[in-house]
Amino acid sequence: MVRTLAMFTDTSLCIGCRACQVACKQWNELGLEVPEWTGGYQNHAHFTDKTYRLVRFIEEPGGKPNGDLAWLLMSDVCKHCAEAGCLDACPTGAIYRTEYGTVNINQDVCNGCRYCVSSCPFGVVSFNESTGTAKKCTFCNDRIHNGLGPACAKACPTESIQFGFRDELVGKAAKRVEKLKAMGFKDAQLYGADAKGFLGGLNAFFLLLAKPSTYDLPDNPRLPQRNVMVDSLLSIGSALVVGLGVLLSFRERGKGGPHA
Amino acid sequence: MPKPPHWELMIVWYFFLGGIAGGAYFTAAIADNFGGARDRGVARAGYLLSLPLVAVCGLLLIADLGVPTRFLNMMRTLKVWDPMSIGAWIVGVFGLFTFVSSALSLSSSPSHAALRRKIGLVGIFFGFFLASYTGVLLSNSAMPFSAGEGWGKLKHADRYSMLVELLLLAALIAALGAAARPLVSGHFATLFWGGLIGLGLLLPLALDLLGTRARALGALAAALVLIGGFVLRYVVLMSVQA
Amino acid sequence: MTTNLIDMQNSDVIMATSNMAENHPVGFQWVMKAKERGAKLIHVDPRYTRTSAAADIHLPLRSGTNIAFFGGLINYAIAKNLYFRDYVVHYTNASFLIDPAFKTPTDLDGLFTGYDPAKKVYDRSSWKYQVDGEGNPRRDNTLKDPQTVFQLLKRHYSRYTPDMIEKVCGIPKAKFEEVAQLYCSNSGPEKTGAITYALNLTQHTNGVENIRSLCMLQLLLGNVGRPGGGVVALRGHANVQGATDLELLYHELPGYLPMPLRDQHPDLKTYLERETPKGGFWVNRPKFMVSLLKAFYGDAATKDNDFGYQWLPKRASADAYSHQHMFVDMYEGKIKGFLADGQNPAVGGPNAKLTRAAMAKLDWLLVVDIFLTETAEFWKAPGINAQDIKTEVFFLPAAPAAEKDGSLTNTMRLIQWHDKAVTPPGDVHSDADFFCSLAHRLQKLYAGSKKDRDKGFLAANFTYGAKPDEPEMVEVLKEINGVATEDITDKDGKLVYRKGQPLNSFAHLTDDGKTTSGCWIYTGVTVEVDGKLVNKAAGRKPADDKDYLAHGWGFAWPANRRILYNRAAADLRGKPWSEKKKLIWWDANAPGQKPEDKGKWVGLDVPDFNAFLAPDAKNGDKPFIMRTDLVGGFFGPLNDGPFPEHYEPVESPTKNLLSKTQINPVVKIWKVPDQKNELAPVGSPDYPYVITTYRLTEHHLSGVMSRYLPMLAELHHSHFAEISHELARELGIENGEKITVLSPRGKVHVTAMVTHRIKPFTINGKTVHQIGVPWHWGWKGVDELPGSRGDITNDLSATVGDPNVYIQETKAFVCNVKKGVV
Amino acid sequence: MSLSRRDFLKFSGATAAGVAAGTGIDLAPVEAAATSLKIKEAKAFAGVCPYCAVGCGQLIYTRDNKIIDIEGNPDTPHTLGRLCPKGAATIQLSNNPLRPTRALYRAPGSDKWEEKPIEWMYEQIAGRYHDTREKYFIEKEKDKDGKEVTVNRLEAIASLGSACIDNEECYLLSKLNRTLGIVYHEHQARV
């Protein structure tokens, strides 16, 4: 694997313009989607098979350092987790990791079982009815393999979305968070930057100005398949109990008659 | 936030029928190996029932895929930690067992019967897996237990299956008539009414209808259903024996 | 704008009065860069927007009280001695003495001297400088004389106290003082601040004075012509600057030359005498005007026929022909034929119901646009019976920029060329193709006419290049630039320009017919280098460390200057005010104009000044070269006064708390038949709420370039109104439910967006609710996206105008809000 | 024009083949498809965003006279290749099924459009201009002092727009309107 590529989304620089959302849609030719009422500017409500980049708009009274209303703006995207739930869940091997560390869905292999959809801790992966396959952000795989940055990062007017080598971006992000804290943003924090943290670190990591749940992000996302062992053992245990019961009953009855 | 996979009715049926298929095969194999001569019919019926059921299961599973023609892609990889991957394999492998066991159950040859009993013992493992892995599958997603629309539907299905179970039991008791007396008023009455109907069905149903969002209560409901399931099997089995 | 977006990164404080993050997001990156460097961002806006989200401080003020606010800042800066005194004394008219007869609203309860209440106009004869024997303005550089502009200004704005601001604007006193201190303290040699504005200031019945008040604050703080300073006018269309320069405006000819008036400009001589000032760069007006006439009429324009001046139409009045006049007159049947080219007044114009009713009175309508707009299909409007509309309608499909060659002038006066990337489909043509095709067919119809009135039109050339109906755009740009009509030699007989050669500079334009120029400020955009035509608008040299303003990228008029009035970036002696804020400076050792001379203005920009005029030479210390008196004007007579004064909007929830003069005393209010322009009285209980209209990042203006584009149209659920939680509670409105917004002109049904970002104001102790409604929607859109269609917000606005430029008041009027669809 | 040099970020060691995680499936052909760049063989043209007045430089990529991609030109000094959502959606101004590509005519009182040949339209429109001008032209009128003066004015035709067309087009329209005598001559800057 070559040096890991990453996307650093600094929400303190986001102006919610949604250039990223449209640039993504344009480049990836994702098609029209009827919006739903979300109560504010945000559309759409969730990631979908036609929305890989999604700008979230959150009103937070008292959220500014001076106590004013904060309007938290955040461009959300697939996290390309180092330990990816979707990749673990995929029964066909369609979901794979590239040499850059990104996680992609091979559209020619995916058979649309949708286990990855519910296995993503962030609700990123979406099912496309017309292709019958799962879809999500690829970091513009075609572009990054040709030396171009992803369409969203390129369009972003304020460099809220930065694209580059992960190690470099993490260093930059750490400095930025210190600066913001000094400026009075007491809840400024990095989300997913730590490779020792949850999911082995996110290749799309974020600088947030409030706790993750404010942004509809899980505070401590876990790999769903982590429970497989325990659950399987439980299943086997209960099977044994039931099996033993059944077995005993048939034994009892077997004693009563000739063995066939 | 995590979102549901939009598994709809086909998958509910798959889970349900898979469970029955697995259970039927399991019962058949146990009866075959450990039961008496009068259990022979049970064994054969179980094997013969499990074959079409698992076939339907397979068809349901394939039909529900986004690209059904790519079902075989699941056979190109095996991930032991992945219930979906295992599940796909199990359907196939268990299908094979039900086929062989069914075929052999039609034969009266003792050597076939011996082979069938041995195969049955191995097949139990896969049948059981089919019946139970779905739970693992469902619990091993990023979805919180009560969130999401499609997830809600699965939970609804869960609720309805409890109701259906109640109705089936009522029908069973009615059909059994006097034969059901040990169950409803005899030695097992307390267990039946209190354990199965009350704890195992009505209480979880009530918890569910209350729409509780508390994880702990959800888990309690699930546990109660499990207990109920066990009690059901127990009381049915034991009362019949009595 | 006076400055350049790139330069905003050098600001120490930025006051956005416009919603820059939403309406100019890509330009906003320079604001963010300034913030990264430690600058503070203040956002002054009735609504909390995406700009407020990025700002250090959001300061909501009631719509329509901008002058009160800026006046308050001027008062604060003077009272706290925070202004840049050297700059003010030397580079502005603060030290000039004003006629003793002149009185301000302080003395006359909201009026200036000379008001005629019957005619509703000012006699401006006392609004003038005192002059000495030679006709030069008298000055007092100590600024102490009570008749100095400075003392008059100080007295005028002394009424604009923080307490008054709180009462009028609804800004708490402490918050105002915090902002005033922050903004005004970033002044002086080491610091600069920039102020952005857009339609937030212009769309008012005191729109021009709004902007003057902003400019005055900037002059007071020494923020014009200096890095990080400036008046950042943020324009809304790709070529609204170019269309203004090339004058698609009733009152001017290309290059800001006044459009002749019947009574004032009967012939060229009178025109030039009246319109050519004694000082400043406009002394060259005759050269620009004659060169324009030569560009229009070609060889037919000769000295003997006043260069064809008599062919130009003469306006009957200065109070006629503007956008709003147009639709009132159209409704009254005075206009028979109408071309709407790339504009959608059925949605975008004020009082849009009147606009659509007016179009029904036309004999014929021609619409040229990319999509079938509401204007093109006004006869299909909801509730209209097409059979009743007798207007004949023509629609020509137009090509977007990507399908044609040409140049666009951005908000920084930067002319940028774009290439034709594809040939348009079907019968789609560029607008230029159409204009030339029409001109040629009309010339055929007029061919042989002996009438004098047709001669000018017949003489005008509309063929550029080999194909008459498909003009070559670079040839048109060359005509705009200007060429020599004959060989031009210098005094030594050396050939400077051969006949037909494009001119390098407007300094070479003449008033004798030897040069042409379709727009003098653009001269220099196409030049000849080694016999080859070079289109500087197509220049594509990026910025680098040595040239942060990127002079090799496109061409900024005038003369590729990126920051206007940049002489002001240096002190009286020509040195930068500070190392930190240097831009151009006088280099006494640089080679001068002639081999024997020394000294030149040099630096990081093209000097907006005579490059060889030494600081100690006459007028070498006066940076504002376009002004007659060469200095920045605090005192600047307009139709409604020489100083901006606060008046309430025509429709307001409150009486004027500053004076008894309720509204702009010379405001233009049109009387339209059939109750087509009803107005709410002050404090009307039927229309108790203030409404402001605005734009969103995801949509464009009247929606023609966004509502038909699924990628944009899907980004907003539906047409909406932003209302506060407080108002929603009062009216029992839930977020997301349908509501009706009504004004005396009309009503719209929209989705209620209940938000913390809108807050009621306390005005003079009373709660005043304000709502916001974007105006992008119309009844057309994408079928699959029902929310791309919606009611027309401009059905609510009124036909009232600023007395100087007749712009409408869509940023502040009144409305009512009702739950549900009523 | 070729791909802008600053459009490329060179990632060290970038290769075309992906690495699939433990599946045993040969992803090479798929990966090649997923990594082929649609604009690689395209022609690039210098564009300017047609929306607001920031004037963002664009790169317009075409193939077979069809626009396949529009994105920011990173060389642009005042925008650095950035775009807003409108700029990023520019492609749909050209590639849009709602876009009319034929000249349309609606007769008085009619409830529908009719497609007409462009030449027919030009002739008709020129005819309307001519007839209206002939009928309503004001050659002379009295000034404020009652003296008859030449005014050469045409008030019966109004022209509106546009801030959405090029400088050259604005100039041609100014020239056309003013030489015809049109005085109702306005555009969006007034509103």
Q: How does DSSP assign C282-294, residue by residue?
A: GGGHHHHHHHHHH
Q: Test B82 with A224 for CB contact under 8 angstroms.
A: no
* D26 to chain B: closest CA residue: B76
pLDDT at A256 over 60: no
Task: Give the pLDDT confidence score for residue C439 in this predicted structure.
Answer: 98
* Across A12-39, average pLDDT: 97
For residues C490-499, give the mean pLDDT.
Answer: 94
In A30-89, the residues whose Cβ lies within 8 Å of chain D are 87
Domain C5-233: state its class. alpha beta
Model confidence band, residue B175 (pLDDT cutoffs 50, 70, 90): very low
Residue D119 falls within a domain, yes or no? Answer: no
Is A96–D83 a contact, with Cβ atoms under 8 angstroms apart?
A: no
Average pLDDT, chain A: 90
Please indicate whether, in this complex, the C-beta atoms of D45 and C419 are within 8 angstroms of each other: yes
**What's the pLDDT score for residue B204?**
62
Q: Does residue A249 sit in the same domain as residue A134?
A: no
Distance of alpha carbon A78 from alpha carbon D96, whole angstroms: 29
In a domain, A260, yes or no: no
**Is the CB of residue C804 less than 8 Å away from at least one CB of chain D?**
no
Neighbouring subunits of A (3+ Cβ pairs under 8 A) = B, C, D
Q: Which residues fall within 8 angstroms of residue C477, CB to CB, at 6 or more apart?
A: C407, C522, C525, C526, C535, C537, D167, D168
Structure confidence at residue B43 (pLDDT): 80
CA-CA-CA-CA torsion for D68, D72, D76, D82, nearest 10 degrees?
180
Cβ atoms of C104 and C155 within 8 Å: the answer is yes
Listed residues D43, D70, D94: the one ending a domain: D94
Find the mean pLDDT for residues D77-92: 98
CB contact under 8 A, C757 and A71: yes
Sign of the C-alpha dihedral computed for residues D47, D48, D50 and D51 taken in this order: positive
pLDDT at D7: 40
* Alpha-carbon gap: C202 to the closest alpha carbon of chain D (Å): 9
Q: Where are the domains positioned within chain C?
A: 5-233, 251-311+472-538, 320-402+428-470, 579-621, 668-819
Chain B residues near residue A119 by CB distance under 8 angstroms: 140-142
Tokens of C370: 């990319």
A229 shares a domain with A151: no
Kind of pairing between the strands at C364-369 and C392-397: parallel
How many Å lie between the alpha carbon of D126 and the closest alpha carbon of chain C? 6
The partner residue sitting opposite A121, judged by closest CB among B2, B7, B74, is: B2
* % chain C with pLDDT above 70: 100
Q: Does A99 touch chain C (CB under 8 A)?
A: no
* Partners of chain C (3+ Cβ pairs below 8 A): A, D
Q: Are C314 and D151 in contact (CB under 8 A)?
A: yes
Nearest CA-CA distance, residue C356 and chain D, Å: 14
Q: Closest partner residue to B67 among A88, A111, A221, by Cβ?
A: A111
Q: Which of C408, C398, C401 is nearest to C371 (CA)?
A: C398
Q: Is the CB of B37 less than 8 angstroms away from the CB of A259?
A: yes
Inform me whether the pLDDT recorded for B228 exceeds 90. no
Residues 178-207 of chain A with CB under 8 A from chain C are none
**What CATH number does the domain containing D54 carry?**
2.20.25.90
Rounded to the nearest angstrom, the minimum Cα separation between A58 and chain B is: 15
SS3 B111: helix
CA-nearest of A85, A84, A106 to A95 is A106
Q: Which chain D residues in 122-151 lie under 8 Å from chain A, judged by CB atoms? A: none
Q: Which residues of A touch B84 (CB under 8 A)?
A: 89-91, 113, 115
ipTM of the complex: 0.91
CATH of domain C320-402+428-470: 3.40.50.740
Does C465 reach chain D within 8 Å, measured CB to CB?
A: no
Q: Are residues A176 and A245 in the same domain?
A: no
- Tens digit of each residue's pLDDT (9 = 90 or more) over B54-92: 999 889 889 999 999 998 898 888 887 788 888 888 889
Do A47 and A78 lie in a common domain? Answer: yes
pLDDT the model gives residue B13? 74
Contacts of C183 (CB under 8 A, 6+ apart): C13, C15, C42, C73, C193, C221
Please report residues of B whose CB lies closer than 8 A to that of D25: 76-77
- Using a CB-CB distance cutoff of 8 angstroms, which residues of chain A are in contact with residue C735? 39
Q: Which residues 68-107 on chain A approach chain B with CB closer than 8 angstroms? A: 85, 88-94
Residue C744 to residue C739: CA distance in whole angstroms: 17
pLDDT of residue B57: 87
Q: What is the pLDDT of residues C431-487, one digit of tens each?
A: 999 999 999 999 999 999 999 999 999 999 999 999 999 999 999 999 999 999 999
Considering only CB atoms, D72 lies closest to which of A93, A109, A154, namely A154
Tell if the CB–CB gap between D88 and A26 is shorter than 8 Å.
yes
Interchain contact D2–A (C-beta under 8 A): no
Q: Which residue in D11, D15, D27 is closest to A5 by CB distance?
A: D11
D141 pLDDT band, cuts 50/70/90, is very high
**CATH among 3.30.70.260, 3.40.1390.20, 3.40.50.300, 2.40.40.20 for C668-819:** 2.40.40.20
Nearest chain B residue (CA) to A240? B128
**Which residues of chain A make contact with C756, given a CB cutoff of 8 A?**
59, 61, 69
Which pLDDT does position A238 carry in this prediction? 60
Residue C385 has pLDDT above 90, yes or no: yes
Q: Give pTM, 2 decimals.
A: 0.91
Nearest Cβ partner for D191 among C235, C349, C425: C349
How confident is the model at residue A3, as a pLDDT?
A: 86
pLDDT at A99: 93
A90: distance to nearest CA of chain D, Å? 10
- What confidence tens digit (pLDDT) does each residue in C7-29 have? 999 999 999 999 999 999 999 99
A148 and A238 in a single domain? The answer is no
C 232-291 → D contacts, CB under 8 A: 234-250, 253-254, 259, 262-263, 266
Chains with 3 or more CB pairs under 8 A to chain D: A, B, C
Closest CA to C606 of C477, C413, C418: C413
pLDDT of amino acid A245: 59
Does D114 fall in a domain?
A: no
Q: Which amino acid is at C333?
A: G
Percent of chain C's residues with pLDDT above 90: 100
pLDDT per residue as tens digits for the range C201-216 = 999 999 999 999 999 9
Same domain, D90 and D18: yes
Whether residues A184 and A244 fall in one domain:
no
Calculate the alpha carbon distances from C221 to A131, C5, C230, C581, C588 in Å: 62, 20, 11, 14, 28
Give the confidence band of C573 by pLDDT, cuts at 50, 70, 90: very high
SS3 assignment, position A204: strand
Q: What is the pLDDT of residue A236?
A: 63
DSSP C53: H
Q: Which residues are A134's β-sheet partners?
A: A127
CB contact under 8 A, D83 and A1: no
Contacts of D84 in chain A (CB under 8 A): 17, 19, 155, 157
Domain that residue D20 falls in:
5-94
Instruction: List the single best residue of D82, D90, D92 to mutate versus A (max A Cβ within 10 A).
Output: D82
State whether residue D100 sits within 8 Å of chain B by CB. Answer: no
Average pLDDT on C536-551 reads 96
Residues A117 and A61 placed together within one structural domain of the fold: yes
Q: Give me the number of domains chain D comprises.
A: 2
Which among D34, D68, D94 is the end of a domain? D94
Is there a contact between A155 and D9 if contact means CB atoms under 8 Å apart?
no
Tell me which of B122-131, C659-668, C682-691, D108-117 is least confident. Answer: B122-131
For residue A36, give the CATH number of its domain: 3.30.70.20
Say yes or no: A141 contacts chain D, CB-CB below 8 A.
yes
Domain assignment present for D131: no
Per the structure, how many domains does chain A have?
2
Instruction: Using pLDDT thresholds of 50, 70 and 90, give the confidence band for residue D111.
Output: very high
A167/A87 same-domain check: yes
Q: What is the pLDDT of residues C241-252, one digit of tens each?
A: 999 999 999 999
**Structural domain for A52, as ranges:** 5-222
Both tokens of residue C324? Answer: 């709003």
For D22, the closest chain B residue by CA position comes to B77
Q: Which residue of D has its CA nearest to C804?
A: D190
Q: How confident is the model at residue A13 (pLDDT cuts 50, 70, 90)?
A: very high
B near C: at least 3 beta-carbon pairs less than 8 Å apart: no
Nearest to B233 among A121, A235, A245 (CB): A245
